[in-house]
Amino acid sequence: MIISLTTLPSRIPKIKAGIESLKKQGFPIYLWIPKYVKRLNQTFDGVIPKFLEGINYEVVEDRGSITKLLGGLDVTNDLLITADDDVVYPDNWAINLIKFYESLTEKGACCYRGRIFRNRKNKKYGNSSLIRQPKVAKQVDIACGTWGTLYDKSMFSQDIYILKHHMVDDIVISCELQKNKVPRWCIPSEKIKEYSVCRTDSLWGHNRKADNNDNAIKDLWID
């Protein structure tokens, strides 16, 4: 069982709060740092801040935000939880995901935030409802990674490494799980806090202005 996340070179000095909250979870942490980000023309300067001591970090080729999953799949043998670099997680964040996963008869991905398509015949990101902090666990179509998602390595085929639409990792991952008939569960949570680093060179801001989400759904979703 590991926790896996990625970041951007420009964000590294700003992610201490999130990293410190992940250290409290009690599991090995893997941070994947892209050495060059093409969309931002941004190069990592090699400076590792002191707050990253005690975690595993590696400088890698940029594969977009899906790097947090792909890197984790490369080092785990079973469970992994992906996290984002701009969130402060409560102390029981990881263990609650694990407990719910272990309670399932049919194993599925477990998240704290997801989306459900409102129109099953016309699946578009803008036509989906956001699910977060539900009172009881609820199955969703799209597992959103921002608040954390638990997977088992066996849920994925080698197709996940084909990086078409890699700019929209939530969609690519959920389409892969849908294809493999893996349920996605959004579960109750305590307060999960996003902080200001999310506005630094954010990918979600770019995708919100483009058709990346809908193009990926149209191309990859299998009913």
Domains in the chain: boundaries: 2-220
**Confidence at residue 32, expressed as pLDDT on a 0 to 100 scale:** 98
From first CA to last CA, the distance across the chain in angstroms is 30
User: What is the fold, at CATH topology level, of the domain defined by 2-220?
Assistant: Spore Coat Polysaccharide Biosynthesis Protein SpsA; Chain A (3.90.550)
Phi/psi-derived region of residue 48, left when phi > 0, alpha when psi is between -120 and 50, beta in every other case: beta
pLDDT at residue 25, rounded to an integer: 98
Q: Give, in degrees to the nearest 5, the angle at Cα 157 between 73 and 136.
A: 75
| Alpha-carbon gap, residue 68 to 82, rounded angstroms | 6
Residue 202: per-residue pLDDT: 57
Q: In tens digits, what is the pLDDT along the chain, a chain of 223 residues?
A: 999 999 999 999 999 999 999 999 999 999 999 999 988 899 999 999 999 999 999 999 999 899 999 999 999 999 999 999 999 999 999 999 999 999 999 999 999 999 999 999 999 998 999 999 999 999 999 999 999 999 999 999 999 998 688 789 999 999 999 999 999 999 999 888 888 765 565 555 555 555 888 999 999 999 9
Distance CA 151, CA 102 (A): 12
